[in-house]
Structure 1
Amino acid sequence: MFDSDCASKALGIELVDLGAGHAQTTLTVTEAMVNGYGITHGGYVFLVADTTFALACNSYEDSAVAARADIRYLRPTRVGDVLVATATERSRFGRNGLYDVTVTVGEQVVAEFRGDSRTIPAPPNR
C-alpha cells in the first residue's frame, strides 16, 4: 500500500518499521509545513499519524480504511523537528480494528491519535 501512496511520499514520510498490527514512520518538518505562528500546521501532524495508522491496519492480508479518527495535540513542533509516529493495534474483531498512534519528537510526546479501521474488499491493484 505504501508503495502506491504518492501523497505521503511527496511529503517525505518514511517507513521505519512494519509488522502485524504495528507501524512506525518519520516526517521531518519543513518550512512549507509551518503556520503563521511558526509551528507545524496540525494537518501535517495528523497526516503522519494517519499514514502510520493506515500502514498498521493494512499490515494483514485484508484491505482496510479509516472509519473514524481523532487526534489530541499536546505540544507544538517546528521546522527541522523529526516527527516519529508509532502505531499500535489495540483490538481487531470482525471487520473492525482499533489503533493508537503516538507522535513524538525525541522523548517528547507531541500528539496522540486514535483510529478505527474497517476492512473492505481488496482493491483491484492489490
Structure 2
Amino acid sequence: MGEPSHEATTAPQEDLSSEATTTARGNHAEELTGAAAMFANDRASQHLGITVDDHGPGWAQCSMTITDIMANGHEITHGGYIFLFADTTFAMACNYPGSTTVASGGDIDFLKPTYVGDTLVARGKEIVKQGRSGIYDIEVTRGEEIVAVYRGRSRTLPARKPTTSDAAAPPVPTSP
C-alpha cells in the first residue's frame, strides 16, 4: 500500500494525557497532524477498539474485532459498525499531514455477514485527488474474504483563520 508512516497511530491504548495529544486537542497541532491528530481525538473509533495498523498519505490499514454490543437482532454485525469502521479507515487515508479533510459522502456494499469474535481488517487507498476533493476505496476483509466495500468522497477544508483566542495564546516553542 505504500511506505509505513513515521506518524502512524498504532493503538487506541496510547496515553491520551500525553503532551502530544494535548497539543493536538488545542489550537496548536504541531506534534500530531493529519491522520494521527484526528485519531488521537477520535473517541468513537477508540471506544470500538479500532486500531490503526499503519497509514500514510493516501492509504491506511485498520483492524477491529466484533464484540457482543455490535451484534444486531439477527446475531450478525450491525451494518452501522461496519460502515463506521470503513469510514475510520477512509479518514486515516485522506487526512494528510497538515490538512483537515472530512467526508463529503460515503457508500457501502455489505457482501457477507460477520459475527461476534470476527477480526476485520480494512485497507483503504486513494483513487483520485483533485484539488480539495478526493475519492477513496476501502475493502473490509475477514481473513481472505471481502465482507464489505466502501467508497468515500473527501473534501479538504481551507486552513482555519486565527481567532482572537488564538492570538492571545502564548506561542508554542519549536525545535531548532
Bucket of the pairwise TM-score, normalised by the shorter protein: over 0.9
Q: Which residue of 2 aligns with 1:3?
A: 40
User: Kindly, what percent of the aligned residue pairs are identical?
Assistant: 55
Equivalent of 2:128 in 85, 91, 94: 91
The 4+ residue runs of structure 1 with deviation greater than 3 A are none
Q: Provide structure 2 residue ranges, at least 5 long, that are not aligned to the other structure.
A: 1-37, 163-176
Structure 1 unpaired stretches of 5+:
none
CA distance in structure 1 between the partners assigned to 2:108 and 2:51 by the alignment:
21
Q: CA deviation at 1:63?
A: 1.1
CA–CA distance in structure 1, aligned partners of residues 42 and 131 of structure 2: 26
1:43 maps to 80
Count of paired positions: 125
Q: TM-score, normalised by structure 2?
A: 0.68
**Does residue 1:76 correspond to 2:113, yes or no?**
yes
Larger radius of gyration: 2
* Amino acid in the other structure paired with 2:74: Y
Displacement of 1:122:
4.4
Shift of 1:111: 0.2
Secondary structure of 1:52's aligned partner:
helix
**Gap change, CA 1:32 and 1:51, over 3 Å in 2:** same
1:25 and 1:83 mapped to 2: Cα distance? 8
Write the letter of the residue equivalent to 1:52. Answer: T
TM-score, with length taken from structure 1 = 0.94
In structure 2, the residue corresponding to 1:54 is in which secondary structure?
helix
Alpha-carbon RMSD: 1.5
